[in-house]
């Protein structure tokens, strides 16, 4: 019988949360089977360790294991990466190439950020899961593979299904055994343990004394919501370890490294209210345009009240001093300030991407992690803003 504590030691997992232990136990129980597993949880929770546990204790442990970040592969090449291609099947296909499903035959493939797969690729994946068959890009010859598939996502897939962004049949095929990885804010008892582990690791890495927290700083650490989860905690610990000269960290010092909007609700893709947005920028656009509509409605109402007695005087503080112009009841007045705000947001986003790319020497993977977006999204934004020509400045 596999012991959960032994698993934690083998895979360097820190924590004693019941929800975490439950996830590890499920991974161990399902490992000897060939069932598909779907791992869900917020970004930064450590989902990538569970496929390794499953592979290690499966009958495929001597076969290959490969992890594929579906969000980091451009849409135009994802089919070739996963299933391979024939020579001449598309521009640049100079030779026949094996895909991951052919290379890992007899082993395990971990599809991280599986919700980023295009719908056409989802159809191909479903066929592999159901029959073990696939076609290379540009080929008419059916091939067989024997691969165990484990997938992970931080997206609410049921909401994605409702919005026709993910196939329902693929969801049920992947979700044979679900594993839910809890966010760090639901593992408060593990936060300080993780901090001490990271502090010790960085002290050894940078050859300096380890940092320590006083009681108030520890309470601040444990009560913070950690929207970036374990990844954010590790980054904060490393920053403090490198920057602070005094190795005894107080609450005031710790607060400098925690975003001030901790009291705001954490927005992530599992929230149904925001499931339709492909990026944070789209959410900001919606907020701005909703504000514009609300202001215009208020102005219309005030314009009508101005025909009456003293209503304008009572509510004039809510109305812009500029004159109001309306063509008819159904026509909304153009709000130039909103457009300027949107353009300003685009400019800020472009500048932020350029700075982060420069910081990481144009390496997209660490840059995407620092920005809190997928590598595919970063690639799309680079093309959208035509950033490539500026990257080497």
336 within 8 A of 320, measured Cβ to Cβ: no
Is residue 272 in a domain?
no
Of 204, 229, 263, which residue constitutes the final position of a domain? 263
- pLDDT tens across the length of the chain (393 residues): 678 999 999 999 999 999 999 999 999 999 999 999 999 999 999 999 999 999 999 999 999 999 999 999 998 899 999 999 999 888 888 899 999 999 999 999 999 999 999 999 999 999 999 999 999 999 999 999 999 999 999 999 999 999 999 999 999 999 999 999 999 999 999 999 999 999 999 999 999 999 999 999 999 999 999 999 999 999 999 999 999 999 999 999 999 999 865 444 444 444 444 343 444 555 555 566 566 666 666 666 666 556 554 444 443 443 444 444 344 444 444 444 545 555 666 777 788 888 888 888 888 888 887 787 888 888 878 877 778 644 444
Same domain for 157 and 31: yes
Strand partners, 178: 38
Contacts of 263 (CB under 8 A, 6+ apart): none
The continuous run of DSSP H or E covering 298 comes out as: helix 280-305
Q: What token pair was written down for 161? A: 């299904």
One domain for residues 257 and 381: no
- Rounded Cα–Cα distance for residues 281 and 344 (Å): 11
pLDDT at 303: 60
Residues 6+ apart with CB under 8 A from 355: none
Shared domain check, 152 and 118: yes
Please state whether beta strands 37-40 and 177-180 pair in parallel, antiparallel, or not at all (unpaired): parallel
In b/e form, how buried is each residue of 37-53, taking b as 16+ CB within 10 angstroms?
bbbbbbbbbbbebbbbb
100 contacts 79 by C-beta, under 8 angstroms: no
213 and 343 co-located in one domain: no
Return the pLDDT at 138: 92
Q: Are residues 169 and 194 in the same domain?
A: no
Task: Give Cα 109 distance to the centre of its chain.
Answer: 20
Could you tell me the CATH number of the domain that includes residue 63?
A: 3.40.50.300
Cα separation, 98 vs 180, in Å, equals 33
Domain carrying residue 74: 4-180
On whether both 175 and 190 belong to a single domain, the answer is no
- Structural contact between residues 381 and 347, judged by C-beta atoms closer than 8 angstroms: no
Joined tokens for residue 238: 């490393």
Q: Give burial (CB, 10 Å; 0-12/13-18/19+) of 327.
A: exposed
**Does residue 271 fall inside a structural domain?**
no
pTM: 0.67
Pairing outcome for strands 148-153 and 248-249:
unpaired
């Amino acid at each position: 019988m596999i012991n959960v504590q032994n698993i934690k030691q083998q895979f360097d997992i820190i924590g004693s949360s019941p929800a975490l232990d439950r996830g590890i136990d499920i991974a161990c129980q399902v490992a000897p089977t060939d069932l598909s597993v779907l791992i869900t949880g917020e970004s930064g929770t450590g989902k990538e360790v569970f496929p390794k546990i499953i592979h290690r204790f499966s009958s495929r442990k001597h076969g290959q294991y490969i992890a594929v970040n579906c969000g980091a592969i451009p849409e135009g090449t994802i089919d070739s990466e996963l299933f391979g291609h024939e020579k001449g099947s598309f521009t640049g296909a100079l030779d026949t190439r094996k895909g991951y499903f052919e290379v890992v035959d007899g082993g395990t493939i971990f599809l991280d950020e599986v919700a980023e797969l295009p719908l056409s690729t989802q159809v191909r994946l479903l066929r592999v899961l159901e029959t073990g068959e696939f076609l290379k890009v540009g080929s008419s010859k059916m091939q067989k593979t024997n691969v165990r598939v484990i997938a992970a996502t931080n997206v609410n897939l049921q909401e994605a299904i409702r919005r026709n962004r993910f196939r329902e049949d693929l969801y049920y095929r992947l979700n044979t055994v679900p594993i839910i990885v809890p966010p760090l804010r639901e593992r408060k008892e593990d936060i300080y343990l993780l901090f001490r582990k990271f502090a010790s690791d960085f002290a050894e890495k940078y050859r300096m004394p380890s940092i320590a927290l006083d009681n108030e700083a520890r309470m601040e650490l444990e009560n913070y919501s950690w929207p970036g989860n374990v990844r954010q905690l590790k980054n904060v610990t490393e920053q403090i370890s490198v920057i602070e000269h005094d190795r005894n960290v107080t609450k005031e010092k710790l607060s400098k490294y925690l975003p001030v909007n901790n009291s705001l609700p954490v927005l992530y893709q599992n929230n149904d209210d925001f499931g339709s947005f492909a990026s944070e920028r789209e959410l900001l656009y919606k907020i701005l345009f909703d504000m514009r509509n609300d202001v215009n409605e208020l102005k219309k109402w005030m314009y009508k009240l101005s025909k009456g007695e003293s209503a304008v005087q009572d509510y004039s503080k809510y109305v812009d001093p500029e004159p109001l112009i309306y063509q008819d009841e159904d026509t909304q007045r153009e709000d130039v300030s909103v457009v300027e705000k949107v353009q300003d947001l685009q400019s800020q986003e472009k500048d932020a991407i350029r700075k982060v790319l420069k910081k990481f020497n144009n390496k997209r993977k660490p840059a995407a992690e620092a920005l809190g977006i997928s590598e595919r999204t970063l690639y799309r934004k680079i093309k959208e803003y035509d950033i490539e020509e500026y990257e080497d400045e």
